Amino acid sequence: MALVADDHGAGYVDKDAPTPTVERRAPSREPRRSWASPQPFVARPGPNGGAKRRWRAVARGYIGSTVLSDYVIAFALTAAMTRQYGWICLFFGAIAGTGFVALVASSRGYMRKSLGSAPAEFESALRGVVLLGLGLMAATFTWQLDVPRRLVFFGLPLLWVLSWADRHGRRRRLHRARERGEAMVPTLVVGRVGEVVRLVDKLRASPYHGFEPTAACLPDPEALGRVNGIDVVGGLADIVQAAVDRNIEVVVLSMSSLSGDALRRLSWALGRAKVDLVVAPDLVEVAGPRLTLRPAAGVSLLDVEVEAPRRRLLTKSIMDRSLATIGLAVSLVPVALAALAVVVTSAGGPFFRQTRVGLDGKTFTMWKLRTMYIDAEERKKALAESSDGAGLLFKMRADPRVTPVGRFLRRTSIDELPQLWNIVKGDMSLVGPRPPLLEEVAAYPDHVGRRLHVRPGLTGLWQVSGRSDLDWDASVALDLRYVDNWSVAMDLMILWKTGRAVLKGDGAY
């Protein structure tokens, strides 16, 4: 048996085998050609053409308005804070506006692929502001420019806040449109049947990302006509042609479907067809800063970070203690007033202390304002069967142990403010998994113990994803996702979302 490369780019075939008389691949509107063919792929009118045009129009408007907004904000702040007047003021504003837009663009902040992605937009705007600040300081030192300190220490942070707020509003409008089924990206899903089902379910569960699965390609296209509600339009050799025929914008490919040279040639062919390629790795819930490409021995190796680098841990620690110290000073009066209300309205002291488990299983005393009657622990056993939580958590939406003042404190999250002292001491972090009880940790399955790999947090993914509305499994999944993928930028994003969740009172009881 002699093996030769399949001219459709999907692997190898036996050249001595008899020529098949039945075409195994789905019909195509365009002449079939090899993935390595230099001929362009030309699409005729077909499914999803209108959806693709609408999405590209939305993307152009989104990018254009974001660029214009960034320029105007940087221009206005710089012009308002310089000590010059007239055309010189306008000149500095134009330089700052152009520079900020260029720096954000260099950080991939205006790419169509990242539209609607909060982390990507957050990081690109932050990088743009930091680089602009470094540029201003370098220019001041090199050319002895008289750059006002208020522009560096007040104007640049305000530039980031305004730029981020503008992006936030625009992104929210895009997400609402996608929840209505608008501005969606036609998507072709490729993989085995089980992989396609899993990928389609995940994409549909998060419509704000914009992927709309409309068709699938399977290794054996004759096995099924539809999978998970979408048409099977061909086999692996049909991927590019099916994408062209059906006006697909993105191909989402399971990593186990194609690899090596076939995946490389597929990327070339999709590039000629102007279709994006997204590969879903087999590493579940591992993303962000933990994954990087390391070229070695003529191949690209996927480097999986097993431990957070020391510089990132140091940055997180400095940010935690600095912000917690400021927050503790600002919250002294509200906490004092709340403590007085607790003492006046119910028997017992104003504060509640409890032993919790922290980093690497080390215990510490966590502080909160008391929100329950002093006999709450004794009454807990009688209420065990009424718990609204699943797994190891005890939760009740209408917990009779909570005092009237305690309900207000919980709804506004004021009861959590004393934990800022735990953060200053180093027991906790601003962002992290929920600090567990000793009895919870004792009952942890092996994999859940990874929650203790980072310091517990005052807030976390669980806080911005439903708080007490989440069941045990959902809380654990979010905590493990954070432990695996945390970064300083993610922490800042969660802090931003926490403020919104607290103001709305989502899931607080």
**pLDDT at 508 (0 to 100):** 58
**Average pLDDT over the chain, rounded to whole?**
82
How far is Cα 359 from Cα 372, in angstroms, rounded to an integer? 27
- pLDDT, tens digit, 9 for 90 and up, residues 414-448: 999 999 999 999 999 999 998 998 988 888 888 88
**pLDDT at 365 (0 to 100):** 96
Residue 397 confidence class, pLDDT cut points 50, 70, 90: low
Q: Which residue has the higher pLDDT, 386 or 137?
A: 137
Q: Which residue has the higher pLDDT, 147 or 350?
A: 350
Q: How far is CA 90 from CA 69, 86, 102, 165, 349, in A?
A: 17, 7, 18, 24, 60
Q: Is the pLDDT of residue 131 over 80?
A: yes
Count of other CB atoms within 10 angstroms of residue 503:
10
* 3-state class percentages of the chain: helix first, strand second, coil last, to nearest 5: 55, 15, 30
How many Cα atoms within 13 Å fall on the side-chain side of residue 383? 19
**pLDDT at 7 (0 to 100):** 42
DSSP 8-class letter at 44: P
Q: Give the DSSP per-residue string, 126-170.
A: HHHHHHHHHHHHHHHHHH-----HHIIIIIHHHHHHHHHHHHHHH
Region 317-321: mean pLDDT is 94
**pLDDT at 43 (0 to 100):** 63
Strands (E), 284-437: 291-296, 299-304, 351-357, 363-369, 429-431
Residue 85 confidence class, pLDDT cut points 50, 70, 90: low
**pLDDT at 4 (0 to 100):** 41
Quick one: how far is CA 108 from the chain centroid?
Answer: 16
User: Which residue, among 52, 454, 468, has the nearest Cα to 249 in the 3D structure?
Assistant: 52
Region 236-257: mean pLDDT is 87
**pLDDT at 264 (0 to 100):** 83
How far is Cα 479 from Cα 334, in angstroms, rounded to an integer? 30
Question: For residue 473, which amino acid is it?
Answer: D
* Ranges 15-19, 78-82, 334-338, 466-470, most confident: 334-338
Q: Is the pLDDT of residue 302 over 90?
A: no
- pLDDT, tens digit, 9 for 90 and up, residues 17-46: 444 434 444 555 455 666 666 666 666 666
